[in-house]
Amino acid sequence: MLETVQTTSHDDDILANAMKPANFQKAVNNWVPHDIALKDAWFPLAHSFAVEAKPVRRSVYSQPFYLWRENGVAVASEFHPNDSERSSKSIYSDASGRYPVLERYGYVWGWYGNPANADPVHLPSIPYLPEEGNLPQHMLGTVRFDCCAPLSLENLIDLTHADFLHADVVGDEKMDKEVVEVFHDSETITMVRSCTNKSVAPIMKRFGGVKDDVQQVRQVIRIYLRSHAAIAYGRFSPGDNVQLFHPCVPETRDRTRLDYTMNTSNVKKSNPFRYLMPKASYKVSRQDSYMTSPQSPRYMNPEKRKDLHSPLDEAGQKYRVLMQALAERQAHGDFSYRDNVSADCSDIIGYDGK
């Protein structure tokens, strides 16, 4: 049994228009993620520990970001310090080629867009990551996807695929009841999935000390659209809560870097789940990549045919429409944030600090 509840919460013309049923379906089927490159956003380019005196290379939509530390402070530049043949500078950095940069939640964030608009207020809220970072490295990891970031995020926000593709890690689709709710504003989409008496995730059964056969599950995926960064928060009872930060940095239009943090400090130190859960990403991401990588050309040009959808695809369809509404607004020269992404979202995701 599946019920879908929709909630809307603002008044954005382009967005309101896009959400009208006729336009909505059109946008859903006009989905060419390759063509969408949003600007004016903070991207979590690297784990803080990875940025040292020697520059590391990142990019956002092929725009180079070299990161290193000067006197302990992270800097981001268009140019490698040893690059003697600098090409002309882009409009995304200051006169010396430096980008706005800040450090929070254990990441070095670079601003992609007009430097004048860089403002910490546009940094996504991630309630369960300590602002100062410093989580142990076994909770951090890097995965690359040879597909575009929106495809990875559309994959993530549809959690029913996990029951099928990742059943051996997170458990299959057997349950008594499933309710999916989708919320959005102009900058975020949040999907809340509540499952009653769902098969226990094998990883919790085998390594997490959960003895029961079924558990109550509440999973939240919240995507910060511009930053292409997602919160994946799961409450399991019995079982430990899962606190994953899942950013998808579009290093190029069709390649994605995921520097994740799986904060398992809520799990007892004696429980192997604390050390193994962060490693599950390697297995899960391979399963995803089997289906999504390398980048499908079917997402690089408009397709004549409409996709088919099931009632389970509500969140994914909305994600498509919201991304296009933002892109359309930016195409009209409007880069402002109409909703605050840095306001604490604990209530929205149901995080109670435990």
Applying CB under 5 A, the residues found at the interface with Fe ion are 155, 288
Residue with tokens 């799990």: 267
Verify binding: residue 298, other proteins, rule CB under 8 A: yes
Verify binding: residue 305, other proteins, rule CB under 8 A: yes
Of residues 310 and 336, the one with the C-beta less far from other proteins? 310
Do 348 and 190 touch, CB atoms closer than 8 A?
yes
167-186 binders of other proteins (CB under 8 A): 173, 178
Of residues 199 and 292, the one with the C-beta less far from Fe ion? 292
The set of residues, in sequence order, having a beta carbon less than 8 Å from that of 107 and lying 6+ positions away, is 44, 45, 46, 47, 48, 133, 247, 259
Contacted entry of Fe ion, other proteins, none for residue 290, CB cut-off 5 to 8 Å set by kind: other proteins
Shortest reach from residue 171's CB to other proteins, in Å? 12
Shortest reach from residue 5's CB to other proteins, in Å? 17
The residue sitting closest to Fe ion, measured at its beta carbon, is: 288
Taking Cα atoms as reference points, which of 52, 72, 42, 250 lies closest to residue 146? 250
Of residues 28 and 231, the one with the C-beta less far from other proteins? 28
Alpha-carbon span 184 to 8, nearest angstrom: 6
CB atoms within 10 A of CB 44: 29
Q: Hey, CA dihedral for 103, 50, 91, 124, is it positive or negative?
A: negative
205-224 binders of other proteins (CB under 8 A): none
Shortest reach from residue 175's CB to other proteins, in Å? 9
In single-letter form, the type of residue at position 52 comes to E
Do 200 and 214 touch, CB atoms closer than 8 A?
yes
CA distances 351 to 129, 207, 208, 234, Å, are 11, 24, 21, 9
Contacted entry of other proteins, Fe ion, none for residue 299, CB cut-off 5 to 8 Å set by kind: other proteins
Q: Where are the alpha helices (DSSP H) in the chain?
A: 13-18, 21-29, 149-157, 160-165, 167-170, 202-207, 273-276, 280-292, 314-331, 346-349
Choose, by CB under 8 A, the member of 23, 196, 296, 346 that binds other proteins: 296
Verify binding: residue 3, other proteins, rule CB under 8 A: no
Shortest reach from residue 173's CB to Fe ion, in Å? 14
Choose, by CB under 8 A, the member of 5, 121, 291, 343 that binds other proteins: 291
Verify binding: residue 307, other proteins, rule CB under 8 A: yes
151-170 binders of other proteins (CB under 8 A): 154, 158, 160-161, 163-165
Strands (E) in 185-319, as ranges, are: 188-199, 214-224, 229-237, 242-247, 249-252, 255-262
Shortest reach from residue 61's CB to other proteins, in Å? 23
Of residues 159 and 349, the one with the C-beta less far from other proteins? 159
Q: Hey, CA dihedral for 268, 269, 273, 274, is it positive or negative?
A: positive
The residues of the shown chain that bind other proteins, judged by CB under 8 A, are: 2, 154, 158, 160-161, 163-165, 173, 178, 290-292, 296, 298-299, 303, 305, 307-312
